[in-house]
C-alpha cells in the first residue's frame, strides 16, 4: 500500500469508532499502523485505545514528518495549506459538495432545500472544496429534524468509507471535480439563525423548517428573548402519522 503512515483525525467519537471497526473487519490494521487523534477541546474515549490530542498548528512539523495520509472525519480544526501540500489529506464530510459546504450542512439543507448527503474528497486550501472521490445524496423528509438527517448522513459516510478506503490507501481511486464552488455556511451563519426574531414575518413552512433544522437531540440551539429579557430555548417534535395508532 502506498499510504502506510495513516492518521485518522476526528472529533466525533461515534464516527471514529465505526471507522476503526471497518478497518478491523477488512483486516487493514494488519498491514498498516493506523493512529487516531482528536482536537484538544474534544473529550473522546474509546476504551483502551489511545486518542492523542493534537493542535494542528502547534504540531504541524510532527504531522508532516510522521504521516503520509491524514483522514479528517469531522475534525473541527482547519488544515493549513502547508499540511495539505505536503501530506495527502482526505476529508469525510457530512454534506453533498458543493452544496452547503462548511458548518452543519444538514441544518442549512432543511432551510434552503439544497441537497444533503455524504462526500469523501481530497482536501485543498478551501473548506470542503477539493476533488470528490465518492459521494451520495440522502433523503430529507418533511418530518426530519437536523438530528434524523444527520444520522442518515453518518450511515452513508460509513458505507462510502467502506467502499473506498482500500482504494485510497493504494492511491487508486477516481476523482471528479465539483460542478461549481457551491455555497458555504460559517459558524457565524449558524449562530445567527439560532436567534429567532419574534418580530419577523415567517410563513408557516419557513418557521417549521427553521425549528426542525435547529432541533438536534439535547442541544439547545433555537432561542428567543421574552418580554422580560429571558432567553428561551425552543425545539419542535415531528411525527409522521401512523394510522394504526389513531383513536
- Catalytic positions, written as ranges: 93
Residue from 197, 193, 188, 204 nearest 224 by CA: 197
Q: How far apart are CA 94 and CA 156, in angstroms?
A: 9
Q: How far apart are CA 94 and CA 120, in angstroms?
A: 9
For residue 8, the cross-strand partners are 36, 71
Query: CB–CB of 121/154 below 8 Å?
Result: no
C-alpha cell at 201: 414575518
Residue from 39, 35, 34, 53 nearest 11 by CA: 39
**SS3 category, 87:** coil
Query: Which residues, in sequence order, are CB contacts of 223 under 8 Å at separation 6+?
Result: 194, 195, 196, 231, 232, 233, 234
Amino acid at each position: 500500500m502506498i499510504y502506510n503512515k495513516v492518521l485518522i483525525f476526528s472529533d466525533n467519537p461515534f464516527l471514529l469508532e465505526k471507522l476503526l471497526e471497518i478497518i478491523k473487519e477488512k483486516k487493514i490494521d494488519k498491514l498498516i499502523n493506523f493512529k487516531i487523534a482528536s482536537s484538544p477541546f474534544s473529550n473522546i474515549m474509546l476504551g483502551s485505545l489511545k486518542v492523542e490530542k493534537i493542535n494542528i498548528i502547534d504540531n504541524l512539523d510532527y504531522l508532516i514528518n510522521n504521516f503520509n495520509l491524514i483522514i479528517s472525519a469531522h475534525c473541527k480544526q482547519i488544515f493549513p495549506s502547508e499540511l495539505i501540500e505536503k501530506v495527502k489529506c482526505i476529508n469525510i464530510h457530512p454534506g453533498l459538495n458543493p452544496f452547503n459546504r462548511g458548518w452543519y450542512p444538514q441544518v442549512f439543507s432543511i432551510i434552503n432545500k439544497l441537497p444533503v448527503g455524504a462526500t469523501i474528497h481530497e482536501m485543498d486550501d478551501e473548506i470542503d472544496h477539493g476533488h470528490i472521490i465518492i459521494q451520495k445524496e440522502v433523503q430529507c423528509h418533511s418530518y426530519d429534524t437536523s438530528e434524523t438527517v444527520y444520522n442518515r448522513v453518518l450511515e452513508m459516510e460509513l458505507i462510502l468509507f467502506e467502499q473506498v478506503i482500500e482504494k485510497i490507501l493504494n492511491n487508486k481511486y477516481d476523482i471528479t471535480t465539483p460542478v461549481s464552488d457551491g455555497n458555504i455556511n460559517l459558524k457565524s451563519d449558524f449562530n445567527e439563525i439560532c436567534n429567532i426574531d419574534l418580530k419577523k414575518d415567517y410563513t408557516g413552512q419557513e418557521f417549521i423548517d427553521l425549528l426542525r433544522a435547529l432541533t438536534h437531540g439535547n442541544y439547545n440551539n433555537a432561542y428567543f428573548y421574552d418580554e422580560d429579557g429571558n432567553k428561551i430555548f425552543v425545539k419542535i417534535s415531528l411525527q409522521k402519522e401512523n394510522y394504526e395508532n389513531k383513536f
